[in-house]
Amino acid sequence: MSDVFTLRRGQEPLVISIPHSGLDVPEDIAARFAPAAEGLPDTDWFVDRLYAFAESLDATIICAKYSRYVIDLNRDPGGGSLYPGQATTGLVPVQRFDGTPLYQDGKEPDEAEIEARRARYFDPYHRAIAEELGRVRTLHGYGVLYDAHSIASVVPRLFEGELPVLNLGTNRGQTCAPEIERAAMKAMLAQDEFEAISNGRFKGGWITRSFGRPHTNVHALQMELAQRAYMDEASVTYDETKAALLQPVLKSILEAAMNAAERLHWEVAK
């Protein structure tokens, strides 16, 4: 067992990564936080709870335990920007999404600490994803990674206006076969309740981009959800009624992607 993440190992080709719903913060880091970090406001709230239904699909689910303020598991460990020219946060964030400093003045992590955090938290999580994708690919000949996220519906520093509820990212089609992206998008558009877009403001982060290798039969998609769809953003509380409307849509997207991946695999294998 790992103290960095929880792992629910399934037997189907689907691996779900939940890198930003963790709430743990080591005491020595928390002691240096500024008041703006109180409550960990940029958390992907309740995403693990929202996707709990995926156990019924026998999916493998990897969920981070630590807050993204400790380490951002979805950033380039080399420090490169995933969205050049746009506001973003780094591997070890020093600002909130709105630009407010996370640390007390002069108590930000230095390069040595950043490297130590990468080794302590980032590497084990990514190693687990690689191992689970390798395992399911051995079982089935292919694997599908679904990176699950959410964000506040309005974050002016990151995007204009109100974010659509369903934001699919495949790095403009580079991280999964086009048949799989089309199937997922078709399922997204088949419902009328939630606005959907593919490769809009969110095109997939480091997890999607580093593991999605269609030519090796590993396909990766990121889903960024606007939090208004399943929770009360003002009070930061999970809304069972809202979630019950969203979960069948998410399930249909997962099933559509998996069915497309299976068809593609057997067509190629003929």
Q: Domain ranges for the chain, please list them.
A: 5-269
Each residue's pLDDT tens digit in the chain (270 positions)? 689 999 999 999 999 999 999 999 999 999 999 999 999 999 999 999 999 999 999 999 999 999 999 999 999 998 877 777 776 789 999 999 999 999 999 999 999 999 999 999 999 999 999 999 999 999 999 999 999 999 999 999 999 999 999 999 999 999 999 999 999 999 999 999 999 999 999 999 999 999 999 999 999 999 999 999 999 999 999 999 999 999 999 999 999 999 999 999 887 766
Element (H, E) at 148: strand 143-151
For residues 250 and 257, give the distance between their C-alpha atoms in angstroms, rounded to a whole number.
11
**Distance between CA atoms of 231 and 240, rounded to whole angstroms?**
8
Whole-prediction pTM value? 0.96
Q: Which residue has the tokens 């990151």?
A: 158
Instruction: Please provide the CATH number assigned to the domain covering 5-269.
Output: 3.40.630.40
Strand boundaries in 35-113, DSSP class E:
60-64
115: exposed, middle or buried (Cβ count in 10 Å: 0-12, 13-18, 19+): middle
User: What is residue 141's predicted lDDT score, i.e. its pLDDT?
Assistant: 97
SS3 145: strand
Task: Please write the tens of the pLDDT for every residue from 13-59.
Answer: 999 999 999 999 999 999 999 999 999 999 999 999 999 999 999 99
Per-residue pLDDT tens over the stretch 187-205: 999 999 999 999 999 999 9
